Amino acid sequence: MPGDDWSGWRRRRLMTALGAAALASNGVAAAQTGASAGPQLGTRERPLRMVALGIEPFGQLDKAGLASGLAVDLADSVSRESGIVITSSVAPYQRALAMMSSGLADIMITISNSRLEQVATPLATFFKGDVVVVGRAGTRFHSLADLRGKMVGQIRGAEYVEAAIADAGIIKHETSSLEQTMRMLLEGRYEAAIGFRGAMFYVLRTMNVPREKLGATLLLSQPDVWLYLSRKVQEPAINAALIKAANALRERGAVKELLAHYFGGLASE
């Protein structure tokens, strides 16, 4: 599980959410320490709404029912940096995409997705993620060709590797959560699973399953994780402020610190 500072993170996130709600009710923008809101950012009628993918540790609900996870922390950091109020919710992958399409959400933090690209604009990258394929202990894959004829699990709606999606020889089975994917792999219902390396081993750790239960990973791609903004938000000042904030967080190492908090010490092969 995350380190001993976990409860402190939760308290700060709750304080951020309560502060955002209070500011929104008064119809003004956040004015937190260090924020440098651009012109007209305080005139929005409502906060920007970020929907986090319900994939641990990117998005989940904590014991109090509050949105938490890496994507939520990133959104909170962007909010503080930009002075723009951002609220967060969590939804399964497919529902999150539908929320962006229907206008129920304004922001997502994720890798590229063909459905998302139709309704949202990628503004700035936070980091690159390792997309891997892994099987049970004793297995090793050398290329995508090794997956042909095998049952391979992944999150429903995710588009991790275009070549794998296009390969009809790979028998694909989609799940509603990464934990479900990993359980089915460990139970022998799948022969392999595709997903983010860090997230896979994070979930494995929360399940109290030793790393030795899985075989070696094969790196398939290293896609960028983007900050997406709905095209329904037609405010150039908002776009510019979000880009500036995301770039500043990445450049001064704040994103790297968050990644270390969630993924530090996890298996890398």
Between 11 and 158, the more confident residue is 158
pLDDT at 242 over 50: yes
Q: Which tens digits make up the pLDDT trace of 84-138?
A: 999 999 999 999 999 999 999 999 999 999 999 999 999 999 999 999 999 999 9
Write out pLDDT tens, residues 148-200: 999 999 998 889 999 999 999 999 999 988 999 999 999 999 999 999 999 99
Tokens representing residue 36 in the block: 């440098």
The 8-class DSSP code of residue 222 comes to: -
Are 125 and 243 in contact by the 8 Å Cβ rule? The answer is no
Domains 6-128+224-263 and 131-221 equal at CATH topology level? yes
> Which segments of the chain does DSSP mark as H helices, in order?
6-25, 70-82, 93-102, 114-117, 162-166, 178-186, 197-206, 236-251, 254-263
Instruction: State the Cα–Cα distance between residues 68 and 1, nearest whole angstrom.
Output: 14
- Per CATH, which fold does 131-221 belong to? D-Maltodextrin-Binding Protein; domain 2 (3.40.190)
pLDDT of residue 243: 98
Domain 6-128+224-263 bears CATH identifier 3.30.70.3000: no
Query: 171 forms bridges with which residues in the sheet?
Result: 151
What residues contact residue 37 under an 8 Å CB cut-off, 6+ apart? 29, 30, 31, 82, 83, 84, 241
CA distance 204 to 1: 10
pLDDT digits (tens, 9 = 90+) for 207-239: 999 999 999 999 999 999 999 999 999 999 999
Strands 67-68 and 60-61: antiparallel
Within 10 A of 227 (CB to CB), how many other CB atoms are there? 26
Domain layout of the chain by residue ranges: 6-128+224-263, 131-221
Cα four-point dihedral sign 50, 53, 59, 65: positive
Task: Decide if 244 contacts 82 (C-beta within 8 A).
Answer: yes
